[in-house]
Chains A and B, each alone.
Chain A
Amino acid sequence: DAKTTQPPSMDCAEGRAANLPCNHSTISGNEYVYWYRQIHSQGPQYIIHGLKNNETNEMASLIITEDRKSSTLILPHATLRDTAVYYCIVRVAGTASKLTFGTGTRLQVTL
């Protein structure tokens, strides 16, 4: 699976959009981009995934660049409960494969 690079930490004011970047310059054509988050003392939580088109669900939006070498997870209106470590993971599509978690981005949402 391709390697991902994320900033170690970010801050965001409550009510504002949180934009979390991820670089995956070695991604292959058959690899999806997955986002998970881990709130303190809880298990990782699936957020969203995509292949090449932008995706949106009730939690977030995922914007993937045209060359697929980077992506951005957008939390449109961050709340204090969104404070967590966010992991960007690249994974081969259509196969049963493990999730390789890096160090992620620690997002701190503040008042």
Chain B
Amino acid sequence: DAGVIQSPRHEVTEMGQEVTLRCKPISGHNSLFWYRQTMMRGLELLIYFNNNVPIDDSGMPEDRFSAKMPNASFSTLKIQPSEPRDSAVYFCASSLTGDQPQHFGDGTRLSIL
């Protein structure tokens, strides 16, 4: 079975540019989560969706970050404009329902120069 698929695996761009990270959850999973991991702050939840609806976005750092889930099989996390402090590994996870174990993708390593 395919797991959570994230793209791209690596992204290097200059500050000020728009960055779009993509995630395909496991088929049949109704909940999707975006996390960010840095050395300083560890793994932090940014936002999660249930049945394509954003439920909790309290972890989104600021208005430069936005996330969408247009359908059950696709989600995006967008940063515009990007800043060097956004450099991190961004993980997407999905679960069958919100209270079930989460399954993570391999992440997108983002570097903002």
Q: Enumerate chain A interface residues (CB-CB to B < 8 A).
A: 34, 41-46, 49, 93-103
A58 to chain B, nearest CB (A): 14
- Residues of chain B within 8 A (CB-CB) of A103 are 42
Q: In terms of DSSP, what is the predominant structure of the interface of chain A? A: loop
Sort A-B residue pairs by CB-CB distance and give the 10 closest, nearest first. Answer: A96-B98, A43-B104, A101-B43, A98-B45, A46-B101, A44-B104, A43-B91, A43-B106, A43-B105, A43-B107
Chain A residues lying within 8 Å of B105, measured Cβ to Cβ, are 43
* Residues of B with C-beta under 8 A to A45: 104
Q: How large is the interface on B (under 10, 10 to 19, 20 to 34, 35 or more residues)?
A: 20 to 34
Known pairs A99-B102, A101-B43 / 12 extra A-B pairs, C-beta < 8 Å: A42-B107, A43-B4, A44-B102, A49-B101, A93-B99, A95-B98, A96-B98, A96-B99, A98-B33, A98-B48, A98-B56, A99-B43
Contact A96 B50 (CB under 8 A): yes
Shortest B7–chain A CB gap in Å is: 14
CB-defined interface of B37-60 with A at 8 Å, one 1/0 digit per residue? 000001101001010000110010
B interface residues, Cβ below 8 angstroms from A: 4, 31, 33, 42-43, 45, 48, 50, 55-56, 59, 91, 93, 97-99, 101-107
CB atoms of A96 and B31 under 8 A apart: yes
Q: Report whether B93 and A43 are in contact in the complex, using a CB–CB cutoff of 8 Å.
A: yes
Shortest distance from the beta carbon of B91 to any chain A beta carbon, whole Å: 5
Chain B nearest CB from A91 CB (Å) reads 8
Smallest Cβ-Cβ distance to A101: which chain B residue: B43
- In the complex formed, the residue of B with least CB distance to A45 is B104
A-B contact pairs, 29 of them (CB 8 A): A41-B106, A42-B106, A43-B91, A43-B93, A43-B104, A43-B105, A43-B106, A44-B43, A44-B91, A44-B102, A44-B104, A45-B104, A46-B101, A46-B102, A46-B103, A49-B101, A94-B99, A96-B31, A96-B48, A96-B50, A96-B99, A97-B98, A97-B99, A98-B33, A98-B56, A98-B59, A99-B45, A100-B45, A101-B43
